[in-house]
Amino acid sequence: MEKVNRRTTLKLMGLGAAFLAAGGRGLAQQAPTADQLVRGKDRRLLVLSQRPIVLETPYELLAANAERTPKEILYIRNNVDLPGYNTVEGANLEGWKVQVGGLVDKPFTFEAKELLSLPQHEVTMVLQCSGNGRTLYQPRPSGNPWKRGGVGNVTFRGVRLKDLLAAKGAKLLDKAYHITAHASRQGNAPEFVRSVPIHALENALLALSMNGEPLPAVHGGPVRLVFPGYFGVNHVKWVEKIEFTEGENTTTEQMPRYRVPAIPNTQLPFLPQEPGKTYPYTFQNSRPNWLVTLNSFIFAPLEGQTVRGPYVRVEGVAFNDGIVPIVSVELSTNGGRTWYKAELERTEKTFGWVRWRGTVYLRPGEHEVMARAWDAAGRSQPLDGNVAWNERGYEYSGVMRVRFTVS
Ligand SMILES: Nc1nc2c(c(=O)[nH]1)N[C@H]1C(S)=C(S)[C@@H](COP(=O)(O)O)O[C@H]1N2
Ligand SMILES: [Mo]
């Protein structure tokens, strides 16, 4: 009850602020657009929530920028807002300090600007909320109603966490099994903390820039800890404390949120659930949204388009956790009875998405195309994404289907 009241109050406060921002010009002006919530964002982004700020990239915009996702259209998912950081401009590096501690022999604090004098490393990677595609689950799970636009492909640049440790002469102690990162917060805002397994240290990057520009404040500037190959929730924006810990953190973002049901010590990626049923999440019977699930998206044709036939170009992207390469993307225009291979842009492993394209031969009329990716670990996507149904709607990876007309 109390929760509902608090939520309603926050919503009303949000509306009130928007009303004032619009100059009190009347009811029609009440809902703020993305560019009013975050300076420099494209006003076409979908506002899924105002407080905290959650903005989705419309699918056509994502598809129109298949190489890399520009900062103006990149989705935003705040669980906890950081007031004053609602802009795509960079944030001030001066005075920003980060503590490093826990299970290390020599804990230390460093200034973010010290990172500028260490070797810089660049990584292009998929940034994707684990709730992306949630609305495709039936029945609809709780949470922000993401379609497919809670994702982007971006290039981060910065200093590897392991290089920083080496530069400071700090070594991990026994039982440092997790990396636990804490975000800066203001006032009595809730904490935002996430833990990832220690192997994530291999590629962990303290990012200072994105797509060749200072890291946008709203995307975690001045410094964000990113773990290539991991889901969005693990890349802690505005990082101010990094600890090496034995166990996972116990705040709600680690448990019960951002987890899926799983059986410990099995290779099963998830424990199948009866859609609609709730689950008693514990650390033991579930696993966190860590490594990105193999997925592929069709960027052309788009749903509802009319295209010229009979040769129709189909294009899109595919990605996984970057541990092994994507080996093929297959297309089907007959509901999955037969498949043909699309051509991949590259076949080496990568944390970024790989573009693919193929040509299908279709007579005039209504059609549906499906795309399914495979990787070198033998992993693929379920034809029916609902097999992974879970009550919070995480890690959707079902084969995408697009309906269109051939003229
Ligand atoms: N400090 C902080 N880091 C955060 C979050 C947050 O609320 N606070 N949200 C996480 C989640 S759930 C996602 S999906 C990504 C979104 O990154 P973006 O907002 O830069 O697109 O940031 C993650 N890191
Ligand atoms: Mo997320």
- pLDDT tens digits, one per residue of 90-99: 999 999 999 9
Q: What secondary structure letter does DSSP report for 90?
A: B
Nearest CA to ligand 1 atom 9: 78
> If you measure from the C-alpha of residue 407 to the centroid of ligand 1, how many angstroms do you get, rounded to a whole number?
43
Task: Identify which of 46, 79, 249 to mutate to test ligand 1's pocket (most ligand atoms within 8 A of the CB).
Answer: 79
**What is the chain's alpha carbon radius of gyration, rounded to the nearest angstrom?**
22
Q: Which numbered atom of ligand 1 lies nearest the CA of 152? A: 21
Task: Identify which of 233, 249, 259 to mutate to test ligand 1's pocket (most ligand atoms within 8 A of the CB).
Answer: 233
- The pLDDT of residue 278 is 96
Contact 319, 326 (CB under 8 A): yes
> If you measure from the C-alpha of residue 27 to the centroid of ligand 1, how many angstroms do you get, rounded to a whole number?
31
Pairing of strands 224-226, 205-210: antiparallel
For the ranges 147-161, 258-272, 313-327, 372-386, the lowest mean pLDDT is seen at 258-272
pLDDT tens readout for residues 291-318 = 999 999 999 999 999 999 999 999 999 9
Environment class of residue 147 by beta-carbon count within 10 Å: exposed (0-12), middle (13-18) or buried (19+)? middle
Token pair recorded at residue 221? 């500037």
Q: What is the mean pLDDT of residues 182-210?
A: 97
Statement: the pTM of the whole predicted model exceeds 0.95 = no
Q: What is the mean pLDDT of residues 11-18?
A: 44
- The pLDDT of residue 28 is 57
Ligand nearest to the CA of 232: 1
- The pLDDT of residue 266 is 76
Task: Identify which of 235, 252, 293, 396 to mutate to test ligand 1's pocket (most ligand atoms within 8 A of the CB).
Answer: 235
Ligand nearest to the CA of 77: 1
- The pLDDT of residue 70 is 98
Q: What is the mean pLDDT of residues 241-252?
A: 98
d(CA 69, CA 58): 12
The rounded percent of the chain whose pLDDT value lies above 70 is: 93
Token pair recorded at residue 282? 């514990």
Token pair recorded at residue 192? 């935002």
> If you measure from the C-alpha of residue 186 to the centroid of ligand 1, how many angstroms do you get, rounded to a whole number?
16
The rounded percent of the chain whose pLDDT value lies above 90 is: 91
pLDDT band at 341, cuts 50/70/90?
very high
CA 23 and chain centroid, separation: 34
Contact 132, 151 (CB under 8 A): yes
> If you measure from the C-alpha of residue 236 to the centroid of ligand 1, how many angstroms do you get, rounded to a whole number?
6
Give 18 or 164, the one with higher predicted confidence: 164
Pairing of strands 343-344, 340-341: unpaired
Q: What is the mean pLDDT of residues 7-20?
A: 44
Amino acid at 104: V
- The pLDDT of residue 27 is 54
pLDDT band at 263, cuts 50/70/90?
confident
- pLDDT at 136 exceeding the cut of 80: yes
Token pair recorded at residue 238? 């505005």
pLDDT band at 30, cuts 50/70/90?
confident
- pLDDT at 48 exceeding the cut of 90: yes
d(CA 117, CA 167): 11
